[in-house]
Structure 1
């Protein structure tokens, strides 16, 4: 544990980042600032209530500044879990870099890059330096996985967008087949599936939401969202069924035990540059998926993952559970000159004025979500119910800006 450093995390999702927070809390204290509009506010507080290294606060500029002053001799790193490919993450970066200008105890504002190779939500190369997705898995590897039912097949659907409904969850024939699947299987939905319709700007498509509801009603093989470690589920499985636009296929390549990876791909997803695909069996429709499963159980299917671990190591270091220590060294968090901040006072009014100046020309719904002063209903009232302001409608319908 580092005694000279602490992490601050503005928290805008539910269970999607819980594993990541546990990884960072193994290195030092983590302060979660949970947005008051976050529909997962209560159960995220409950999730971390028994972890002494994790401290939960309501997100506000005042609370953040107060906790900065409380840290005294410690340096602070702001960890952003939102992808800076999208507007919310970009605005968060602006906010905390503005605060950093006035508070030298903040030594870095770092977008974590929680996804791995193959996931399109984090496109910047610097976010994929270390396999931190594996950190908590490696540290808890000896803890036994508790299962209600055994399974050979693990199904991990991703999600898509209204204007581009190309996910496995968007294919009604495949969903119907999965709901009636007779072979032993488990379904691990994306955490977003449990929050869709509640979160202000993260949601499944209407078709995906419909299919999730159908699976929830028909299938008895859904894994509860509180089973956070997808890697432990992958380790147990023999067949992984997932989307091409996902980090799941690549994460599966880490394992040595000759798994079978069935990847759903549409013509819109095809990428000839995708060097993972030599290790997959692809399917485009339900008949192809049926055929793959039948070939597997008839011992007629080629295993393509025999050398997959070597490919994994071409992209990442071997996970060892010490990725946060390595990241601290790479980002030079431990090399900052020691200085006593215990008597240093920061003028919060000056900082808040600087934030107001930075955002006064960008008073949009997304900016208000980032600043965290309002609840979701208040933001809806400000923008949606004002006939002179249609920005809220534009934001809700334009997923490319999210």
Structure 2
């Protein structure tokens, strides 16, 4: 309705000026009057043509150099416009309407340096270019998006404005061009300084996870995807009428559950949260590369659980979740962790990643230790933002035998991140 009214007003104004000059020439007469009329006639004809020129029929596309990349990378984008009628245009303003998810920057080295200043992560990106197309049928506009943040970003809208030299006629149209950019979290080299793997008879320290020892069977369980054919217990399979596999001694000890605190709270450090996401992906990758099985539990606005078993596609699903997850939820992490502990198999090793320690954390950790074989807590936070209350809790938990890794900007800035588990 507004567009139609605006078009009618502009058309009426152009016709009114044309009739005004024609009336002046008719009543005034003479060479000068008619010269002014015919001299300005092409301008009015151009304006009338521009009013009726349909820019909405332009074919606008967007091309990205990469549709899947990692956080902190640079993306080249080309906006390409094609039109069938090369009507002369003095100028065009192309504007990429960026989503809110891209109104922040992420560069790992910069993030670690500014870990204590999370408010600096927010930036304002504006992609706007002016071109002078003239009679061109095809126009290409390249631009770059630097330091892309983690997440799934949808580029949907391109706004184009054009008009005449005098500003009497302006036209604008928003083109819906849908492209999706997936930005995975980075993966860092992580070294587990003490292995959380140990036989039930006694612990043995190591810098890497050991291969599964299938010589000593300690129990049975239902078949899971990824189990070897040789592990099947045929007697129990025939008795229970379902496929049953043997559970081995070292299998119990090498299973590791990685738990991520994705709960929102007042004063959450977004830089620390992003570093925790990066560390979570790195830990899971490190555990799986060392031939051990890793599970994943994400606790936030919703709970996402990937059980501990060998599934070739599990790592991709975890990466997709870590790409999209954002802090959320109103229930404290400690309360939700207590509720979700029943999902975790008893005797599993656990690595818990968080960015803060709340008042119920110490009590819940004691309950978690009763169900896990080994428990290691990794706290990612800027050194200046760790409160005295959290320092006291860390000392108390360590005195009770809980392994707590505090990773500040100093530890994260190194080439290798070291995580102690025993």
Q: Normalised by the size of structure 2, how large is the TM-score?
A: 0.23
Q: Normalised by the size of structure 1, how large is the TM-score?
A: 0.24
Q: Which is richer in helix?
A: 1
Q: Which is richer in strand?
A: 2
User: In terms of Rg, which structure is larger?
Assistant: 2
Tell me which of the two structures has the higher relative contact order, counting C-alpha pairs closer than 8 angstroms and 6 or more residues apart: 1
